[in-house]
Amino acid sequence: PPPCAPAPHGTAMSSSLSSCTLVEAALRVLQTPSPHDKAAMTDKIAALWSSGDISLAYDPDAVHVVPPDKPQRDGRVNLVEPSRVPRLGKGGTPETRVAILHSLAHIESWAIDLSWDIIARFGAPRAMPRAFFDDFVAVAVD
């Protein structure tokens, strides 16, 4: 397989990340179901991008790979329509505090995926400048 092919099932990262373009690495994050692995990959990719070990945002000669409509999610994640989610209250009880933290964790997970999706979906097709990639890598890491 090519050096930046998706990691084998059950493994999130491999030494081949440094051989990826940033867009290829973004696609790898979007294809990873585990939120813990997504976060770890995000930190690793951001460090490689910052250090220059991932030096190309994209390969202008490569065929554009469209990101998935929805990023991979762990099978334990049950997406619920917003109208069906119980109201959380103001955090006055331990249960509502846990529910609020749980919601924030989901929001952060989606923010990571959204940042990588924007990089993968719009970076190469629109020949975006390096600052575009820097900004969305920073958002993903935040």
Spell out the per-residue pLDDT of the chain, length 142, in tens: 345 755 555 454 545 788 899 999 999 999 999 999 999 999 999 999 999 999 999 999 999 999 999 999 888 877 778 788 777 777 788 888 888 888 888 888 899 999 999 999 999 999 999 999 999 999 999 8
Count the residues in the chain: 142
Tokens 């030096």, residue? 55
> Who contacts 118 (Cβ-Cβ below 8 Å, separation ≥6)?
136
The pLDDT assigned to 1 comes to 36
Tokens 């940033």, residue? 22
